[in-house]
Chains A and B, each alone.
Chain A
Amino acid sequence: MIGAGRDRAPWVLALEGRGPALAAITALHAMVSFAFAAVALGPVRATLARHPAGAGALWLDDGRYLLDLARLHGGVVDVAAVSLLALVLAYALAWSLFGGVLPALAMGARPPRLYRAAAESLRRAPTLLALAAVAGGAFAVSAALAWQSWRWALDPANATVSGASAHARALAAMLPAALLAVLASVWHDVARTLAVAQGMTAHRAAIKAGSAMARRPLQTAAAAALFAAGGAAGPALATALGLLVGRNETTTAVVFLCAARLAALAAKTHARMRWFRWVSLRAG
Chain B
Amino acid sequence: MRAYADAARFTHPTPNDFYRALRANLDARLVDGFVRPALETAWTFDQRVTVADCWRERDRWVGRVVVQRQGPFQLPTSVELEDSRGRRRRVTWDSASPSLTIPYAGDAPLRVVRLDPDRRIEVDADRTNDVRTVEPAGHTASLTARVAWWVALVLASVGP
Contact = CB atoms under 8 A, between A and B. Distances in A.
A274 to B, nearest CB: 13
B154 A88 contact: yes
B159 interface: yes
Nearest to A65: B127
B25 interface: no
Given A49-B140, A87-B155, A242 B128 contact: no
Interface string B74-91: 000000000000000000
Give the contact-size bracket for chain A.
35 or more
Interface in B115-144: 119, 125-128, 131-133, 136-144
A52 B136 CA distance: 8
B142 A29 contact: no
A37 interface: yes
B138 A68 contact: no
Given A84-B151, A92-B158, A51 B131 contact: yes
Contact of B148 (A37, A54, A101): A37
Contacts, number: 139
Contacts of A58: 143
B158 A33 contact: no
Nearest to A87: B155
B132 A50 contact: yes
B153 interface: yes
SS class, residues of chain B in contact with chain A = mixed
A258 interface: yes
A55 B153 CA distance: 21
A72 B125 CA distance: 10
B88 to A, nearest CB: 12
A102 B156 CA distance: 13
A272 interface: yes
Nearest to A25: B160
Interface residues of B, number: 33
SS class, residues of chain A in contact with chain B = helix
A140 interface: no
Given A52-B131, A261-B149, A72 B155 contact: no
A50 B136 contact: yes
A13 B4 CA distance: 84
Contacts of A65: 127-128
Nearest to A253: B142
A91 B147 CA distance: 17
User: Which 7 A/B pairs are nearest by Cβ-Cβ distance?
Assistant: A54-B138, A55-B143, A37-B148, A33-B152, A92-B158, A54-B139, A49-B136
11 contacts: A32-B151, A37-B147, A41-B144, A49-B138, A51-B128, A54-B142, A55-B143, A57-B131, A235-B153, A254-B139, A261-B145
